[in-house]
Structure 1
Amino acid sequence: MTNRKIKILIADDSLTVRNFLVKVFSLDPGIEVIGTAIDGQEAIEFVKKNRPDIITMDINMPRLDGFEATLKIMQENPIPIVIVSGDYNTTDTAKTFKALECGAVAILPRPVGVGNPDFDETVHRFVSNVKLLSEVKVIRRWNRIYNSSVTQENPNTIKDITQPIRIITLGASAGGPLVLQQILKNIPSNISVPILIVQHLDVEFAQGYADWLNIQSNIPIKIAKDGDILTAGVAYMAPGNHHIGVKAYNTILVSKDSKEKGHRPSVAFMFRSVREVFRNQVLAIILSGMGDDGAEELKLLKDKGAITIAQDFDSSLIHGMPGEAIRIGAASYILSPDQIIQFIKRNVSLSIK
């Protein structure tokens, strides 16, 4: 075990926010704030002379905003960058997700103020996520996102299937937003099945994330409501702080049942729900994420005869969820996002006659 502290740079133009985040990080003895920057340009200059383990970055800053600063740092000195947002206006949060395309590893809500009853809980969640994300290997990720030579599909890996697929389910956590965007913008617009999505997100970001996905997606992305009728060619995303599943072949279930694996929405809840209704006529996909949410339920789907896919190690920002699924034998296939897209195009869009 090492006692080395995690070194953090805070970039935010607000002195109040900078001081607040310094205070928040000082509560954890395993963290050291080694610098602060008032804009993106200062952050770039700091990184050239120092080597923080992770950067917390604001978006709206003078001289150079968080988008440009993130892009520049990831080009020159790749370091995990987390966008910290205190603005939950739907339009602004949708714009914030563009930072992922610049190379940021995640978007986190700023903890609530000291006098708020949720202060301790939000600080713990925030600090824990920052510590975990500080370990992300961003050089490998940067090359993967911006190298035009993408993973080539192996024709021996992707095989045609014969069973009908009546629904696709996608479950993801950290590292999932960009992969989901990649998959959804390449899915055929005439796909013949509905899609359910669980992406672990703080409740403030759910609608903004759906709006961001809709900008490039080939199919409409909709925040699900309880009782919605499942429609082919539409992707339904779990609303913030709610589970998503199905009640019957054509009806969506939205529930506020207890958290599972610490999550609501939970990938496990979704996978279990579709197994009960659609049995083996499911394509269930588990993508990048921390922890093991959904891994056991993916195995139960596979045992039922459903087709299951886990994202491969090389393309995953964090291989926790897909890695656990692979470890317990829950994956029929282990594929990159490009291969997942090809699998769907070859099998799902023609599966319902």
Structure 2
Amino acid sequence: MKIGIANDSAMAAEALRRVIAASEHQVAWIARNGRDAVRLCADLPPDLVLMDLAMPVLDGIEATRQIMRAHPCAILIVTANPQDQPGQVFRALGAGALDVTATPVLLGQADGAAALLAKIRTIGKLVAGAAAHAGAATAGAAAAAAAPTGPLKRLVAIGASTGGPVVLARLLSRWRPPPDTAAVVVQHIDAAFAGRLAQWLDGQAISPVRPICDGDALEGGVVQLARTNDHLRLAPGQRLHYDAHPRDAVYRPSIDVFFDSVARHWERDAIGILLTGMGRDGAAGLLALRRAGKATIAQDQASCAVYGMPRAAAELGAAERILAPDAIAAVLPGASAASGASSILRTDD
């Protein structure tokens, strides 16, 4: 891949250049500030930009936003100590960046370059469209395994990728799952940042946001968030488990895997929601939910940072409704009557 580097630190930029030069990729250009990165993306379009967050003239968040608006390309946030600046990281992801990792020169570990190249390889597969359905769940009709127990009546299953954190924050700041409704989110993000994402969303949302531990039960009135690179599955008995298989899945955790498990093991009302993201993950799973008689929604193109996954769902006929985030919040169970919108659920539990 042709890779652009946007970093105002000469040491960091040189470290990134060396990592790329020692790989099968090539450096397209080096920008010392966000404004130059935006210009170079227009003049010499790269396959991927390694974008720092703190830069003069134009920071990485705004540069990402402008690039995705005018000259879209894959963007990986590479910055010092990303774990210490979760708000900026998630705003950059919301602006359209695909993922985040620490600058190798500042990691102080021999595996820093290997970690960066692994991220680049994964993004390369997404950009090329290779293995778009790798590990995706079969989109066949659900085979219910066991009736759910307990007071829960509904499940809202949400999948998101590129641009997802900011959209999730907006959605969850406008919607509170009622006590009889479980809400589970699968967001494509490295496990190292999943806990931080849960904390950040918890500060934005009306309801508590909690990371999911293996074996946790579905819980009403809160938002539960997948927290590992393994795939989240719903098992009979309303328990949530992580599974490393399929190991060759490009998307980890896979939204398709989770949606398909809901289609198979949840007999009551459910809504599947597929938000912004690159690729096709979640489209087949959303179709499985629709074929199982569940309600399904995809985010509309105008509000998406990247209209990949929702587009794939629309093309498959998996989404009953295509809505902006505020409109999604307005049709969910427990939405304020003042919104004037009716719930998407069709039953009267």
Q: TM-score range by the shorter chain?
A: 0.7 to 0.9
Contact 1:200 1:265 in 2 (8 A): yes
- Cα pair 1:260 1:266 within 8 Å, conserved: no
Give TM-score, length-normalised by structure 2.
Answer: 0.73
Which of residues 6, 20, 23 in structure 2 aligns to 1:10? 6
Paired position in structure 1 for 2:260? 272
Structure 2 residue corresponding to 1:179, chosen from 150, 153, 167: 167
C-alpha distance in structure 1 between counterparts of 2:70 and 2:285, whole Å:
39
The one of 78, 86, 96 equivalent to 1:93 is 86
TM-superposed CA distance for 1:261, in Å, is 3.4
Distance 1:27-1:317 versus aligned 2 partners, 3 A rule: farther
Q: CA deviation at 1:95?
A: 4.4
CA offsets per residue over residues 115-142 of structure 1, 9 Å max, x none? 9568557415326638978xxxxxxxxx
Q: Could you tell me which of 139, 154, 157 is aligned with 1:166?
A: 154
1:305 aligns with 2:300: no
Tell me, yes or no, if the aligned pair for 2:159 and 2:255 is still in contact at 8 Å. yes
Shift, 1:314, TM fit: 2.4
Q: Deviations over 1:81-132 (max 9, x none)?
A: 653235253x43344223456x453442147589956855741532663897
Q: Distance in 2 between matches of 1:72 and 1:334?
A: 23
**How far apart, in 2, do the equivalents of 1:320 and 1:45 lie?**
27
The residue correspondences of 1:87-126 to structure 2 (distance < 5 A) are 87=81, 89=83, 91-100=84-93, 103=95, 105-110=97-102, 116=110, 119=113, 122-123=116-117, 125-126=119-120
Q: What's 2:53 paired with? A: 59
Q: Which residue of 1 aligns with 2:303?
A: 315
Question: How far off its partner does 1:253 sit?
Answer: 2.1
Kindly tell me: are residues 306 and 190 of structure 1, through their superposed partners in 2, closer, same or farther at Cα, counting changes over 3 Å? closer
* Distance in structure 2 (CA, Å) of the matches to 1:82 and 1:69: 14
Superposition deviation, residue 307 in structure 1? 0.6
Matching residue's letter, 1:105: A
Structure 1-normalised TM-score?
A: 0.72
Does the 8 Å CA contact 2:7/2:13 hold for their aligned counterparts?
yes
1:247 deviation in Å? Answer: 2.4
Count how many residue pairs are aligned between Structure 1 and Structure 2: 312
Determine what percentage of the aligned residue pairs are the same residue: 26
How far off is 1:199 after superposition?
A: 0.7
Q: Please give the per-residue CA displacement for 1:322-352, whole angstroms capped at 9, x wherever unaligned.
A: 2222212211212222221111124279977
Structure 1 residues 35 and 23: CA distance shift in structure 2, 3 A: same
Aligned to 1:330: 318
Unaligned 5+ segments in structure 2 are 128-151, 336-341
Per-residue deviation, residues 54-85 of structure 1 (Å, max 9, x unmatched): 75332345x668367649967x9887665323
